[in-house]
Amino acid sequence: MQPKSDADLTGLLHAWRGGDSSARDRVVEQVYGALRRMAASRMGDAERSPTLQPTALVHEALMRLLGSDVDWNNRSHFLAVAALQMRNILVDHARARLAAKRGGGAVMVTLEGVDSAQPQHEADLLALEQALGLLEQRDPRLARVIEMTYFGGMQRDEIADVLQVSIATVDRDLRFGRAFLGKQLSA
């Protein structure tokens, strides 16, 4: 059963928070496509992370969302929190893969079969995470705007709705946030 509007989905979110498990299931049905698009747009090239595909990212994010204790305001709020969860999952995954490349507890070390051309995606993601942390210290809203755009694939109007600011403010935040991150990542 499709909700007719965001207001209907908001009602389902509130019913879920009230303990209605069928509402939770209907919320998942309604947002799964949006979450899948967010994950696919964020992950881009599948060969960059052969061990974590968009579907797995969505499922892990849903597990975290279903276990969270958040009072959802509306669809945009739910998707914003989903974007944050996806960011955290991608960063955790990158850290684990880099740790495995550094040995990951392995006892024997050989150089046979080492691929010196491994993509730097994990290192790039961790550098972005560190730069986002600096941006968050400076201005948490700017970090949220970048997070919802980059990790969540959210549109400017959705971000404005979640943060309760104008679209022009979101545009300014995006420009400043991208400039800040560009400076941090090029340093």
Place of tokens 């550094």: 102
Q: Residues near 181 by Cβ (< 8 Å), separated by ≥ 6?
A: 128, 131, 132, 135, 146
Note whether residue 114 is domain-resident: no
Would the pLDDT of 126 be above 50? yes
What's residue 117's pLDDT? Answer: 35
How many domains does the chain divide into? 1
Note whether residue 109 is domain-resident: no
Note whether residue 80 is domain-resident: yes
pLDDT: which is higher, 11 or 43 = 11
Note whether residue 149 is domain-resident: yes
C-alpha–C-alpha distance, residues 70 and 76, integer Å: 13
C-alpha–C-alpha distance, residues 178 and 171, integer Å: 11
Note whether residue 163 is domain-resident: yes
pLDDT tier, 114 (very low <50, low <70, confident <90, very high otherwise): very low
Q: Which tens digits make up the pLDDT trace of 24-71?
A: 899 999 999 889 988 887 776 444 555 678 889 999 999 999 888 888
pLDDT tier, 121 (very low <50, low <70, confident <90, very high otherwise): low
Task: Answer for the pair 136, 147: CB distance below 8 angstroms, yes or no.
Answer: no
Q: What does pLDDT average to over the chain?
A: 80
Instruction: List the Cα angle 11/12/13 in 5-degree steps.
Output: 90
C-alpha–C-alpha distance, residues 123 and 147, integer Å: 18
pLDDT tier, 108 (very low <50, low <70, confident <90, very high otherwise): very low
What's residue 2's pLDDT? Answer: 47
SS3 174: helix
Note whether residue 113 is domain-resident: no
Residue-range definition of the domain harbouring residue 87: 6-100+120-186
Q: What percent of the chain has pLDDT over 70?
A: 81
Give the CA diameter of the chain.
59
Note whether residue 177 is domain-resident: yes
Note whether residue 106 is domain-resident: no
